[in-house]
Each structure stands twice: as structure tokens, then as C-alpha cells.
Amino acid sequence: MQDYLSQLNESQKLPTVHKNGPIMVIAGAGSGKTRVLTYRIAYLIEMGVDPFSILALTFTNKAAREMKSRISQIVGLSDSKSIWMGTFHSVFARILRLEADYLGYTSNFTIYDTQDSDRLIASIIKELQLDKDLYKFKAIRNRISSLKNNLITVNSYLSNSELVQYDKESRRPQFGKIYQTYVERCYKSSAMDFDDLLLKTNELFNKFPEILNKYQNRFKYIHVDEYQDTNHSQYLIVKALADKNENICVVGDDAQSIYSFRGANIENILNFKKDYHDASVYRLEQNYRSTKNIVNAANSVINKNLNKLEKKVWTENESGEKIEVNQLINDSEEGRFVASSIFENKNNSQLDNDSFAVLYRTNAQSRSIEDALRRKNIPYQVYGGLSFYQRKEIKDILAYLRIIVNPSDEESVKRIINYPLRGIGQSTLDKLLLFSNENKITIFEAIKSINSINININSGTLNKLNDFYTLIKTFQLFNETNNAFDVVKEVLKRLNIINILKSDGSQESVGRVENIEELVNGIKDFVDGQNEVIDSSGSLSEFLEDVALASDLDKKNKDFQSKVSLMTIHLAKGLEFRNVYIVGLEEDLFPSALSLTNRADLEEERRLFYVAITRAQKSVTITHAITRYRWGKLNECEPSRFINEIDKKYLKEKVFKNESPLIQKNDNSKTLRLKKPEIKNNFKPIKNNFIINNDFIDINEGDHIIHNRFGKGTVVLTEGKGGDKKAEVKFETSGIKKILLKFAKYKVIDWD
């Protein structure tokens, strides 16, 4: 019966066989917490506990499915199916459907997703004739979501003068009316949004004690996974259900609490002993995932946090490689270094692409990594979002740039003719398309002749089309005498896109601004890099040709081949990879500039770094840049305080040279922040992989080289001598380029 218990170590076994009373399992990274939770539920069933009386709450459907599958292998399919197991939202939706009539809903109520909510809020804003620039529907939805998760109903909101005043000061005095109308419309439609599933469950248990008592008697044993990620609403529901029997088992790791931005409250796990005075606390401290060096390095960082539960994670695994810290001259070099390192490690150790993951703080950072991997023909997958050049805001800007170069590009015209909003609707576009098809001309040509053709368009729309045509022609004239970087700056300035996005105020719009900023940085990097290519001016058409390669790659990589994983650290939680690269370890980026005003936020950033390190099984490589582009302007960067917080005995003293005097400036001019430890740059310099000065390596026809930007290539022609020597190189992914050797960054390679 209990042979599965033999698979557990002593620390894992103790909470597994603890039957009655509240228990908290503090589980370090890679310590087998899911196994403990799974085996504990199986053990309870084998001890005679009715599976119908067991409740298990998870944060993902994937985790619930995996646990149920493991349990069924031990106790059988029938018993495993009787367990109430699933995400918070799915379990509470089930309860609400059973008890819907108590709250005035039908049992078949609709659950609105985010898009449904957005559409409803947008229509309410329109009906109330409110300024949609002030009342952005996504910002309104986020505000409503936050209120609901803090159990603030419409009535509670309207009676709270501070909340009402806040929205007045935010120039949204009608927010309360929108909130009230939204709730009424949902109720009228017998619909609940995701936040309602928590809010209404709390309401159900508070208003109807007999219902709460019913489920308290039903769920005699309650289990909560990732307890550190619960928000206030989830916490109250779980506490209410457990109050009668107090047979509650929570599993989590305070060191991995990284979701405060979506309402998670670390105090829930920190205060568990206050809620349940007789609670037994078990610690899973043995890590089965990572090497000794990785575990110890992670411990040395997280120990800097003051607000934490005491534990000492350890492992019996091999010592492994020390953590490598690499300093690069800029973010583009950072991308090229990561790509080169993956390429070399993959070939030297005969590893698949999926052995590697690149983790970053913000989605925008994927751009330089993607570009570098693409140039080395290394397949990759961006998780948690589209590949950089496929993101909506990027495609919108690229559409403008394409029209400037090629006004016949109809798909690009259709994409941005009404972006940003300028009052040219779909019906107008349909008329233009019909006319252009009938007369075998492009849409742009039709717009050019709009004053002389008859397609039944009112005078207001006519003026807007004329303005659009003039705008594009202005951009085209500007493009004739300026490079790609100057053009994109002019486009963004004239369209006012950044301010439009910033006015939204949502987290999504912040990400979009970051992505556009990174596009600008990429164009600046491209223009600077073209200096080494003969007969190149860094023009817009050259950039669009370059970026087309990225788009083509995105289309080709839809097969099931092994790929390098690119993702934010938040998304990486719960995952593991053989080799992990953590990029952008700089002050104001990681930790984020927004986290430097108070200790709680800074400690969450440190927990995020801890999560990043502990994703690795065999090796961790950290990179940071001396300079990084911000809106095309090169800014100096300081190494992240987190690098200095890793005990030096777990670090490989390795760094690229090009140390800049810029980082030696004192901090007097900087904004006030929490005290940062002094960064002692005691890393030993090593030679750069690529030539970056005038002492170039000579090459001749037939030689094979690898170039920083263009990848592998074969020299087909050379001319000149010494510092003026030129070479024509046929690159695998970039075609034929003519380079001036004294500026080019390359090395000669053997090519089988």
C-alpha cells in the first residue's frame, strides 16, 4: 500500500503522513513540493478519508491535471475523480453554479473573459458619452478588477470618499457610474467575470452561513498549492472553509512570492502561524534540481531579505560550475555574447536547443537576443507573448516605415490608415478597396486622387484622407535625406503614439511603450552597425530588408524542432532548464526602477532574481551591459546590486573588457533610492571573442568567417591593403555584404 512513501526523504515524509491539524510546508526551489502534496492526498485516501471530503486548490490547470494523474496511479481512477481539485476559479465557479439561486443567478450563468469585459466596458463608456481618451476601457477594467479582488463592491466604493476622490483627481469622476453600470449589466445578463468568481464566493459565504457550514462539513481536508501567491480574496475563502475542522495543508515558498502586481499577498504565508496557532511547520530544504554552486549562490542572495521564513536549502548534487558573470559593452553585444555562448556550449557538449533558456526582466529585452540568435541560425521560442517583430505595436510602426519606402504596400496601408485613430472607418476603407480594385490602382493612389473621384465619402472623411496622404508624403520627403533611426524618431513624434499609449495607464500599455523603445534601440544599433558595411547609409530600406529576415524566420519556425526558450522570469516560475542565461542585470532594470522606493518592492525583486537562478540545473550565466540604449540614446548603466549580493566564492571571475569610465561617476546626481552596496569590479578581464579595433585579422578569398551581426560567411572577393582592405562576403543568412576590415567585427573559423 505505502510503497510510494519509500520514494520520499524523511523531510518529505513527515508532512505526507501528518493527518490532522493545520500544517504549513515551506518548500524550497526544486525540493519536490508537488510530490509531497500529491502523496499526502493519496495517503489520506488510503487512511480511509472519503475522497469527496478532500479539496485541493492550485493556480494552474496543468498542476491540477498532473496531481490528479499521479494520485489516480496510486489510489485508482474512481477515487481520484471524487476529489475536488482544480484552480481557485474553477472550484469556486463549481460552487457558485450549485448555489447560484442564493445570489439571484441562474446555474448556467455565463463567465465573461477579459475580452468580453473589455467590450462591455467600452460600450458603457460610449453610451455615457465619456471621453475615451480619459476613460480607457482597459484601464477601467483593471481598476474594477483591483477593487473586486480587495472585496470592494460598487456600494462599498460609492460610500468610500477616499476612493471616489482618487478617481476625481485622476480625471475620471464618472468611474463609479461605469462600475455600477458594468455590475448591473453583468447581473442582467446572468454573467460573472473572473474576479466575480472570487467576490461572489466570499459574498455567498458571508451572507448565507448555512451554505458556508455545508461546505465546511463537506471539505474536511483542504490543500493549497503555491500559498504565497494567494490574494486577499482567495485567502478569506480558504480561511472560512478551514475554520471548522482546521485540517488545512498549505504548501509554498515565501522566497518565490513574485506576483504582488496581480494582488498576491506574501503576508498570507508569513502569518500562517498567527492564523493557526497550533500549526505544524515542515521544511523541505533538499534541492533535487540544481548543483551545489547554484543552490548556495541563490541562498546567499535571498538571505539579504529581512521579511522571510527561515530555511536553508541544500543539495547532495555535484558542485557543478560556478556562476559566470559577463560584462558587455552594450545590449547588442550582450545579445551576441548569449547567442555565441549557446552556440559553443551546444556544440561542445552535444546539447539540444531546449537545454537553454534566456530569462529577462521585461519582454522588450527579447529583441537583441532574438536578433543575435536569428543571425546564428539558432531556433528559439518566445513564451508569454509574440516574437518581438510580431507584436502589434511593433507591426504598427513597421507598417508606417514600409509605406514610407513602398506606398503600394496595401496590407500596411490597411493596417494603419486609422491608427492612431483619425476617424477613417471600415466603410471608407471598403469603398477605397473597391475603387482601387476596379480601376487597378493601389489604395494609396486612390487616396492621392480622392478629391477627383466619386466614391460617396463625406467632406469630413475627405479631409482626413487628405491629411493622411500629406502625412505619408511628408515622411517620404524626410526619408530622402535621413537614416532609419532619424526617420522612426520623426514618425513617433508626429504620430504621438507614445503619449497615447502612456495615457492608457495600464500594465499592457507600459509593455507596449517598452517594446517601441526597444525597436528604436534596435534601429539605432542597426544604423551604427552599418558603418562597417561599404556603400551603406543605414537607410530605412536597408533596415526593412534586415528585419524581413526576422519575419521570415518567425514563419519558418512553426515546426516541432528543439528551440531555445526566451521568457520573462515571472513566466519561468515552476520551470527548469539545464543552462540558464539571466540578462540585463543592471540597476533600474533589474531591480526595476519602480522597486527602489521601498523595501517591500525591492525584496520582491530579489525574490524574482532568486527564482531566476533556481531555474537552472547545471549552469547559470549572468550578463550586464555598461551602456544600454534608451530611445536611441546611449545611457550608462551600473551593475545590479544583486550581482554583488552573490557570495564571490560561487562566482566565476570572468568579464568582457571594455570597462567604461562612465560607471565610475558618483551617485550624487541620481534620484533618492535605498542604499545600494558598493560594486567592486574585481573581475579579471578576458579577451573579447571578436575584433573591435584596428588590429584586424587579415582575410583572403575562400576564408570562412563569423561576423558579430551577419553570422557565418565565405569571403568571395578582397581588394586593397592594410587598413583600407575591403572584403566581399557571402553570409548564410544575410546575403552578400561588402565590409571594411578595420571596422568589422569578425573572426576566422574552420568550416566543415
Active-site residue set: 33-34, 225-226, 256, 615
Going by C-alpha positions, the residue among 559, 532, 628 that lies closest to residue 588 is 628
In the block, residue with C-alpha cell 517583430? 389
What is residue 589's DSSP assignment?
B
Q: Is the dihedral of CA 85, 88, 89, 92 positive or negative?
A: positive
Nearest to 367 by CA among 166, 157, 173, 583: 583
Helix runs in 583-629, H state only = 599-613
Burial class (CB in 10 A: 0-12, 13-18, 19+), 385: middle
The Cα-based distances of 118 to 133, 195, 604 in angstroms read 15, 14, 30
Cis link prior to 639 (omega < 30° from 0)? no
- DSSP-assigned states of every residue in 353-381: GGGEEEEESSGGGHHHHHHHHHHTT--EE
Residue 294 near residue 590 (C-beta atoms within 8 A): no
Q: Report helix angle 497-504 to 484-495, nearest 10.
A: 50
Contacts with 471 (C-beta within 8 Å, 6 or more apart), sequence order: 494
Q: Which three cell numbers stand for residue 423?
A: 476617424
Give the integer Cα–Cα distance in Å for 52 and 54.
6
DSSP 316-360: -S---PPEEEEEESSHHHHHHHHHHHHHHHHHHTT--GGGEEEEE
Q: Residue written as cell 591593403?
A: 721
d(CA 360, CA 431): 46
> How far apart are alpha carbons 405 and 563 in whole angstroms?
34
Cell of 679: 560594486
Alpha helix stretches (DSSP H) within 530-598: 540-556, 569-572
Integer Cα distance of 397 and 392 in angstroms: 9
Of all helices (H) and strands (E), which one includes residue 655? strand 655-656
Q: Are 2 and 29 in contact (CB under 8 A)?
A: no
The CB density around residue 165, as the number of other CB atoms within 10 Å, is: 11
Place of cell 493519496: 42
**How many Å apart are CA 408 and CA 396, to the nearest integer?**
16
Rounded alpha-carbon distances, angstroms, from residue 237 to 55, 151, 253, 606: 13, 11, 21, 29
CA contacts within 13 A on the Cβ side of 83: 30
Contact in structure between 134 and 171 (CB atoms under 8 Å):
yes
Cβ–Cβ under 8 Å, residues 478 and 490:
yes
How buried is residue 726: exposed, middle or buried, by Cβ count under 10 Å (0-12/13-18/19+)? middle
Residue 60, helix vs strand vs coil: coil
* Cis, bond preceding 677 (omega within 30 deg of 0): no
Find where cell 480561511 sits. 239
- Name the residue among 91, 291, 294, 282 with its Cα closest to residue 201: 91
